[in-house]
Amino acid sequence: MASGSKGKDNISAIAKHVDAEGYEMPWVEKYRPVLLDDIVGNTDTVERLKVIAEDGNVPHIIISGMPGIGKTTSIHCLAHALLGESYKEGVLELNASDERGIDVVRNKIKSFAQRKVTLPPGRHKIIILDEADSMTAGAQQALRRTMEIYSNTTRFALACNMSNKIIEPIQSRCAILRYSKLKDAEVLKRLKELCEMEDVKHNDAGLSALIFTAEGDMRQAINNLQSTHSGFGFVSQDNVFKICDQPHPIVVRHMIKACQKGEIDDALARINELWDQGYSAVDIVTTVFRVTKGMEELPEVLKLDYIREIGWTHMRILEGVGTLVQLGAMVARLCRVTMPPSSLRL
């Protein structure tokens, strides 16, 4: 069913899955892609999955990467593309919410692997182990032989955040696909599509703020879009930052500009403003880093110096000294970078 149809209508087709009661579903679920074609970003890897889906001979795979970038979704799309109508009988999904100790591997997974089901010709049963990095090493060990013995009828698809938590022998049996964080442009495109489908009133600054706060995590971007929309009815920069509760990058930007001009009083006032709003030193310093990194108007050399200073401050804060004085010292050092040496002489 899924494998054949293509085209832009797919997304709107998914949109019709709204629950009958009329309650608002979380948009992340409502717009969870069902076709590999609808997955945004990581094009090379998704192309590889499409080839696998057409070919039918799926290897054991591990998809690893950050949260919210489409790993679980991709595996389900792949299983749909491979099995179509037989998805229900042909797929066993176990995630971190299921018991996945050695017993389950011995009993549930083994008995599913042994079970005979009718599938389209040339297709295999698929066992999806989502969040596989939370499986104990013992349970993973128990999988080793099972994966081999039943590999003519059953293939494994694992998703995890950290592939190093998967034991080496399992890694060596699988093709490892790494998903990277989604690019800003990719998240933006998707958000724009959702805005159109859900008729969300927004401006460009609002969408940029969503992208800034999500840091390449599509799930977070969509969730924040929905929260801002239902909370304020309009997606603007200020509303997004009220929902996301992060130090406002505009304030941080002003602070850095003040440092560049050597206006320490102004810069300190901005830091005080954020501190008084209750943000922690880590929140502030990470936002300062991200804003500095993205400021195109800063000369390259200056940016390097700034990032080095911010890095030192971040380290000291993580070591335990997350005080206003620490942030003030950072501001002082940033101001000092651009001050002419003559003005530093007493």
Ligand X SMILES: Nc1ncnc2c1ncn2[C@@H]1O[C@H](COP(=O)(O)OP(=O)(O)OP(=O)(O)O)[C@@H](O)[C@H]1O
Sketch the per residue contact string, 152 through 171, with ligand X: x for CB under 6 A, - otherwise: -------x-x----------
List, as one string, the DSSP characters of 289-307.
HHHHHH-TTS-HHHHHHHH
The least CB distance from residue 73 to Mg ion, in Å, is 8
Residue 72 sits in the site that holds ligand X (CB under 6 A)? yes
Stretch of 10-18, 68-76, 117-125, 308-316 lying at the interface with ligand X (CB under 6 A): 68-76
52: left (phi over 0), alpha (psi -120 to 50) or beta: alpha
**Of 95 and 286, which has the nearer Cβ to Mg ion?**
95
Stretch of 163-171, 202-210, 216-224, 252-260 lying at the interface with ligand X (CB under 6 A): 216-224
Q: Beta strands of the chain (E only): which ranges?
A: 61-64, 91-94, 125-129, 154-160, 175-178
The least CB distance from residue 130 to Mg ion, in Å, is 5
Q: What does 67 interact with, of ligand X, Mg ion, none (CB < 5 to 8 A by kind)?
A: ligand X
Stretch of 70-78, 169-177, 244-252, 336-344 lying at the interface with ligand X (CB under 6 A): 70-78
| Polymer length of the chain | 346
Residues 207-266 that bind Mg ion (CB under 5 A): none
The least CB distance from residue 21 to ligand X, in Å, is 20
The least CB distance from residue 171 to ligand X, in Å, is 18
Residue 90 sits in the site that holds ligand X (CB under 6 A)? no
**Of 240 and 267, which has the nearer Cβ to ligand X?**
240
84: left (phi over 0), alpha (psi -120 to 50) or beta: left
The least CB distance from residue 34 to ligand X, in Å, is 10
Candidate list 218, 240, 271, 285; residue touching ligand X; CB under 6 A: 218
At residue 61, φ and ψ (nearest 5 deg) are -130, 150
Candidate list 3, 42, 72, 313; residue touching Mg ion; CB under 5 A: 72
Stretch of 33-41, 132-140, 201-209, 326-334 lying at the interface with ligand X (CB under 6 A): 33-41
Alpha-carbon 132 to chain mean position = 17
Residue 73 sits in the site that holds ligand X (CB under 6 A)? yes
DSSP lists the bridge partners of residue 129 as 94, 158
Separation in Å, CA 169 to CA 121, 172, 319? 30, 5, 37
Rounded CA gap, 158 and 55, in Å?
20
The least CB distance from residue 179 to ligand X, in Å, is 7
265-271 contacts at long range (C-beta below 8 A, 24 or more positions apart): 267/331, 267/334, 267/335, 268/328, 268/331, 271/324, 271/327, 271/328, 271/331
Rounded CA gap, 334 and 247, in Å?
19
Candidate list 14, 35, 40, 142; residue touching ligand X; CB under 6 A: 40
At residue 242, φ and ψ (nearest 5 deg) are -70, -40
Give the closest residue to 314 by CA, choosing from 290, 338, 336. 290
Residue tagged 């297709």 (tokens): 123
Residue 33 sits in the site that holds ligand X (CB under 6 A)? yes
Site size toward ligand X (CB under 6 A) is 21
Residue 69 sits in the site that holds ligand X (CB under 6 A)? yes
List, as one string, the DSSP characters of 113-144.
HH-----STT--EEEEETTGGGS-HHHHHHHH
Residue ranges in contact with Mg ion by CB under 5 A: 72
Residue ranges in contact with ligand X by CB under 6 A: 28-29, 31-33, 39-41, 67-73, 159, 161, 190, 218-219, 222
